[in-house]
Chain A
Amino acid sequence: MWGRVVEIMTAVWLAASPFVFQVQGSDSFVLIDSLVALLIVILSGLSYWHPTRHAHLLILVVATGLTLWGRFAELPPPPIHQNHIVVGLFLLMIAIIPNAASRPPLAWRSSAGSH
């Protein structure tokens, strides 16, 4: 589940970003970044539960939105939006990593001939 752990760590960075990039005076940045970070944590967390194990794939949608917001909200993108682009692209890579990625998929963990 290291992919999910990295997603949660990235969400923490995203929530802290308005303070790192010194735009904490803007309520919208603090609110949106916090909500997006919370959404990422929820989706990653749900991936630990078997019935919702594919929830992390929804982060692809969130990451695409974050990247597009960062790229087009202001031209040229200020540092906070460049951070959104970088975080969004990074999450696109991480979100596709399967749970228990270092082990074979479930279908292949069964013994040969028993399927």
Chain B
Amino acid sequence: MSHATLPVDDLDRNVPPYPHNPSAWSQRIPICILAFVAAAISAHLSLYQWGLIETAWDPFFGSGTAEVLKSKTATQMYAIIGIHDAALGVLAYLGDAILGFAGSTRRWQYRPWLVILFGIDVIPLGIVSVVLVLIQAAIIGSWCFLCLVTAAISLILVYWAWDEVRASLMYLWIVWKQNHDWRLLWDAFWGNRCEAIDHAAETLLSRETA
């Protein structure tokens, strides 16, 4: 087998229907940066929950943040998880950043498992975290400014991550539609290579751009 590398323009091909490559660094780095910002905000909130700082910053809702972070709901979640919910948020956002950063600029095809794992971390978990923030506010009757900021960041991350996850799912769908072979779909999911898998990727790449 030859080990000559593919030209870089092959790695950076646009994926229809998008006029861009959803796995390009220009698409992924902003996600990583925003996820790090959210992780830093969550770290600030978890320091307050751990009692390592006396107040959590909130320019709008005053004691609302303290009421939310020290609420009965937060305490119950702490009893279940074993760590504070804000600390879990730090891990989730770090996960977004780590999984967003790993992989080449054609990882939608070369490592679909990584893109789908990234999608699971960003999309369903992001939506659940937003719903939890809103429910918490409804139950406790107080608002936490930084919690709302992280919820807004979660929604932006969902919007930014969707194109890459969609590209990977479309690619796997084409592999299935062309071959109806579970084994081949499994190989494509884990990034193994064969002619049929190459053909599926080329089918996707030769589609019309929207």
Taking beta carbons and an 8 Å cutoff, which residues of A are in contact with B?
3, 70-71, 76-77, 79, 81-82, 85-86, 89-90, 93-94, 96-98, 101-105, 107-112, 114-115
A residues less than 8 Å from B138 (CB atoms): none
Contact A108 B4 (CB under 8 A): no
Contact A89 B5 (CB under 8 A): no
Contact A112 B198 (CB under 8 A): yes
Contact A107 B192 (CB under 8 A): yes
Which of B78, B94, B102, B192 interacts with A102 by CB under 8 Å? B102
Q: Smallest distance from the beta carbon of B103 to chain A beta carbons, Å?
A: 6
Q: Smallest distance from the beta carbon of A93 to chain B beta carbons, Å?
A: 5
Number of residues of chain B lying within 8 A (CB) of chain A: 35
A residues less than 8 Å from B10 (CB atoms): 112
Contact A105 B82 (CB under 8 A): no
Number of inter-chain CB pairs below 8 Å? 79
Q: Does B1 contact A (CB under 8 A)?
A: yes
What are the 7 closest A-B residue pairs judged by CB atoms, nearest first? A101-B102, A107-B193, A114-B2, A111-B4, A71-B82, A77-B82, A104-B104
Which of B2, B11, B82, B94 interacts with A104 by CB under 8 Å? B11
CB interface residues, B 84-105, toward A, < 8 Å: 87, 91, 94-95, 98-99, 101-104
Q: Does B44 contact A (CB under 8 A)?
A: no
Contact B6 A82 (CB under 8 A): no
A residues less than 8 Å from B3 (CB atoms): 109-110
Q: Which residue of B lies closest to A93 (CB)?
A: B95
State whether A97 and B102 are in contact (beta carbons under 8 Å apart), knowing that A104-B6, A115-B1 are contacts in the complex. yes
Which of B98, B104, B110, B194 interacts with A97 by CB under 8 Å? B98
State whether A85 and B194 are in contact (beta carbons under 8 Å apart), knowing that A108-B6, A109-B3 are contacts in the complex. no
Please measure, in the bound complex, the distance between the C-alpha atom of A77 and the C-alpha atom of B198, giving whole angstroms. 50
